[in-house]
A and B are shown apart, each in its own frame.
Chain A
Amino acid sequence: MVTSSFLDRIFGKTAQLTVLEYLLSNKDNDTYLSGIAYETGLSHSSVSRVIEPLIEQKIIKEKSLGKQIRIFSLNQDSDITKYLLKVHTDLKTMMNNSSDKK
């Protein structure tokens, strides 16, 4: 399943934005590399590459599960993440309202 994105209509489609939007849309769920790949249509290696800067910026948290599973979730303690969540929600509302008016 590949989720649709509305941020790419504004900012252009990049793998990093696709992953960020997926995690913003699933803010309360833990997920794993192949799960994100499956939901976004990106390859595992692409997800792994673009998630690193998001972890460095502390927007995404990474934990280990068992010996080898990397799990990811939105770091909702971060002010940057809180701001991104607000922008994401507001933009989504605006774009839905805009398309309803057409």
Chain B
Amino acid sequence: MNKDATDHKIFELIKSEENISPLEISRKLGITEVEVVRRVQALSDSRNKILIVDDEMDTLLPLKISLEASNYNVIEAHDGPKAIELAKTEFPDLILLDLMMPGMDGYEVCSRLKKESLTEHIPIIMLTAKDEIRDKLEGFEIGADDYVTKPFNLSELKARINSMLRRLK
């Protein structure tokens, strides 16, 4: 079942029987109760959604925890193809994109997202250990909106995220 079909079935079940429990919904749809609770919360979740794309858990996890503590809805991808899939199905408000990943690198992901009408408007902040000016210029040329060099200061990164999200409004 795709994401929206499941959400819609949950919505219709609650609409037809407002007091239905997550357990009953989980039995009817064949998904776990935890999944039902998560999906019901997501139906009306209006927090800013940030997609972090990084294959290194040492970078991704602290960043995710920190952003969630700041009340962002954080989703994650560990490689380029998954990042593109999530950008097209989850419609994040902003993407934090690691440059150096095995397989499809951050430049390629950025380039593909900026060529698609569905995703071209999503701001992308590149995260990278590369500090060469030519690397930064290449990122900007293919459509990156900002560039942060690792190791980054979390407060500065959050300030950049907030600044970019304010510009969208």
For the A-B complex with A34-B7, A34-B43, A65-B15 known, give 18 more contacts whose Cβ atoms are closer than 8 Å. Answer: A1-B4, A34-B45, A35-B4, A35-B43, A38-B7, A43-B48, A43-B91, A43-B92, A43-B93, A44-B46, A44-B49, A44-B91, A46-B93, A66-B14, A66-B18, A69-B11, A70-B44, A71-B15
CA gap between A44 and B47 in the complex, in Å = 7
**Given A1-B4, A45-B47, A68-B41: A37 and B91 interface contact (C-beta under 8 Å):** yes
Interface residues on B, range: 20 to 34
Which residue on B lies nearest to A32, using beta carbons?
B43
B167 CB-CB contact with A under 8 Å: no
| Contacts between the two chains (Cβ within 8 Å), count | 70
Q: How many residues of A contact B (CB 8 A)?
A: 24
> Closest CB-CB distance, A28 to chain B, in whole Å?
14
B40 CB-CB contact with A under 8 Å: yes
Which chain A residues lie closer than 8 Å to B18 at the CB level?
Answer: 65-66
Q: Are A42 and B91 in contact (CB under 8 A)?
A: yes
B134 CB-CB contact with A under 8 Å: no
CA gap between A32 and B118 in the complex, in Å = 21
A79 CB-CB contact with B under 8 Å: no
Which chain B residues lie closer than 8 Å to A45 at the CB level?
Answer: 46-49, 93
Q: Are B40 and A69 in contact (CB under 8 A)?
A: yes
Chain B stretch 14-35: residues in CB contact (< 8 A) with chain A: 14-15, 18-19
Q: Are B169 and A69 in contact (CB under 8 A)?
A: no
